[in-house]
Amino acid sequence: MSFCHHAGCSSIRGVPVGFAAECDNFPDADISELLSLLGQVPEFRAKRGREHDLSFILAVCVLATLAGATNYREIATVASAICQCQLMVMGARWDSFRSRYRCPRRTLIWEVLGNVDAAELDRITGKWLLAQARKDKGEDGEIEWVIAIDGKVLRGSWTDENDTVTLFSAMIQAKGITIAQVRVPDETNETTQVKTLVRQAGIRDGESVLATLDAAHCNKATAEFIGGKPGWDYLITVKSDKPTLYREAKEILSPLLGNDPGNVMTERSHGVIKTWSCWTSTAREINFPHIAQVACVCREVRSVTGENLTKDVAVLVTSRSAGRMSAADLNKHAREHWGIENKKHYIRDTVYREDHNQSWKGDGPQALASFRNLSTSLFAMKSVKNIKEATEMVHMDRHLAFYFMAT
């Protein structure tokens, strides 16, 4: 195992390089594009008296979040152990008195994240992550996106009016990459922010998009906006709180349930067998904007011995016709919509303890969530499945962070 031999690094605990190469030879670890991206975030501080450039402080926050930091104090703790060569690459300033590169203090990190333009940070990082995802798809031919849209309440954070902070985000289902996030204004809810979020997502005209949404967004205004947007379609869950639509959909679907489903998906994991069965039908004369199909998805969970454990039935509506979305496609997309819970919200709550984080000052809660979205997306871009294990590895060897920060 090799060690960082750069000047000054041995005085900071001699951090082992481990899985990465030595500090002056990071293979495929060019983080200049990410640093340039962070440099686009507007500077809000007066020029006189700045200890560090804003882009450097934000880069430190990204590295610390990749290492599992959950709050301002932990970000500062990780920052204090970043080796000199990494500080140099990220743009740290040289301290002539101490003959070393300086890292930001906890109070500075707290001040910056509480006052930075978190909405702009979300917009810039989301646009960049979409560009990275587009590279994987290639520029040739038709590009199609399946995007899960959902909100999340930060239960440990609060506003000046003692209201909870709610964030509304859009995630590429297959990749687990968050391409847009907006903060829901106080005294309103996420359903009012669909237009804002869709516009921030930055999807190009001509690209095909299927937006999947939960029952909270089952309303005519949202269906009219998404279904009427060129290239866009919706897939929305319907519940009994929309009695007319729910009843009409059930009247169409009920006669079909005695027949074989159009598609069946089965998964065996954690000692149980899960089965998703899907029936679909054209929407006929249902009065709902741009509706083309209705569907019923039955989710059954059985033990390996065949004992029935749970059974749930969901009714869905979509503006995409059967010629463009089969029962198999609909079943898959409906199931994967909850990936935003498993791939994002669950990780932010368990790995980063987001609901326990009691940050409240200014844009701090949203800024911290932005770094969590960016970090989990960077992990996803490198096909990491176990985020918790990855953060632990980066925490033990901070040089690994450059591998995930590189493009």
Q: Verify that 17 and 109 share a domain, yes or no.
A: yes
Q: What are the backbone angles phi and psi of residue 276, rounded to the nearest 5°? A: -115, 120
| pLDDT value of residue 118 | 95
CA dihedral sign of residues 95, 99, 103, 104: negative
Q: What is the pLDDT of residues 147-159, one digit of tens each?
A: 999 988 887 676 6
pLDDT value of residue 1? 29
pLDDT the model gives residue 175: 87
Does the residue 274 lie in any domain?
yes
Run means of pLDDT, 10 residues per run, the chain, 407 residues? 41 35 53 95 91 96 96 94 92 92 94 95 96 78 86 75 81 91 89 94 90 95 95 96 96 94 91 94 92 96 90 95 95 85 78 78 89 94 91 92 91
The pLDDT value given to residue 4 = 53
Domain that holds residue 289: 234-325
pLDDT at 213: 95
- The verdict on 298 and 392 lying in the same domain is no
CB atoms within 10 A of CB 100: 18
What's the total number of domains in the chain? 2
**Final residue in a domain of this structure, among 325, 348, 371:** 325
Average pLDDT, the chain: 87
Residue 189: inside a domain: no
Report whether 263 contacts 252 (CB < 8 A).
Answer: no
Task: Check residue 219 and report its DSSP letter.
Answer: S
DSSP 26: -
Q: Is the same domain home to 105 and 26? A: yes
**What would the pLDDT profile of 210-219 be if each residue is shown by its tens digit?**
999 999 999 9
